[in-house]
Amino acid sequence: MSKRIVIASENPVKKQAALLAFQKMFPAAAFEIVSVNVPSGVSPQPYGDAETLQGAANRAQRAFELRPDADFWVGIEGGVQEVDGELEAFAWIYVLSPTHSGKSRTGAFYLPPAVARLVRAGHELGEADDIVFGLSNSKQENGAIGILTGNVVDRTALYAQAVALALVPFRNPQLYPAERETST
């Protein structure tokens, strides 16, 4: 019987990243991905670690509330922050189960000045990428990281590693005390 993962996004990149990470961390298990569209409860383009992590946690919790009939709930939230006058991009991942939670942050990279200017002016990162690079809906494909690295690293790979790291408490439950009780 497969385990159900509810991903708090309909973005195919996020769904694929979650599935890849779960398959790598639990190779003997079968998984089914269900996606739901839930609000993050934070800014459309989160700024800083705290707001971005809160968005990921909110998404996971809202996915649980919407679809409590699952084994795991995953929130992925991309964010940016100012570091020494440059704009850094990253994402937070938050995973819930009936008994545990886990979280992890992706690696970070700095945005080109033209993209950073648009983000600072109020555009979401994906929109800014599309404008600067003449693309359409790049956030549902390789994203800024894929564009900037020539797909040496794409959004799926960037997110999958962080999802796997967020799954550490689930792979090692004997090392992490149970902290949640839900009615699933």
- Which H or E run contains 156? helix 155-166
**137-150 pLDDT tens trace:** 887 788 899 999 99
Q: Judge whether residue 66 has pLDDT over 70.
A: yes
Give 181's pLDDT tier (boundaries 50, 70, 90): low
d(CA 70, CA 19): 14
Residues 6+ apart with CB under 8 A from 88: 80, 81, 82, 108, 109, 110, 111
- Comparing 1-10, 71-80, 125-134, 174-183, the range with the smallest average pLDDT is 174-183
CA 142 to the chain's CA centroid: 14
d(CA 126, CA 115): 9
**124-135 pLDDT tens trace:** 999 999 999 999
The answer to whether the beta carbons of residues 82 and 119 sit under 8 Å apart is no
- Which H or E run contains 3? strand 3-7
- Model's pTM, two decimal places? 0.94
Average pLDDT over residues 78-89: 98
As a three-state string, the secondary structure of 11-74 is: CHHHHHHHHHHHHHHCCCCCEEEEECCCCCCCCCCCEHHHHHHHHHHHHHHHHHHHCCCCCEEE
pLDDT above 70 as % of the chain: 97
CA 90 to the chain's CA centroid: 9
Mean pLDDT of the residues in the chain? 94
Residues 6+ apart with CB under 8 A from 67: 6, 34, 36, 73
Q: Judge whether residue 44 has pLDDT over 60.
A: yes
- Comparing 13-27, 80-94, 138-152, the range with the smallest average pLDDT is 138-152
Q: Judge whether residue 183 has pLDDT over 50.
A: no
Q: How many helices (H) and strands (E) does the chain have?
A: 7, 6
Report pLDDT for 36.
98
**158-173 pLDDT tens trace:** 999 999 999 999 999 9
Report pLDDT for 4.
98
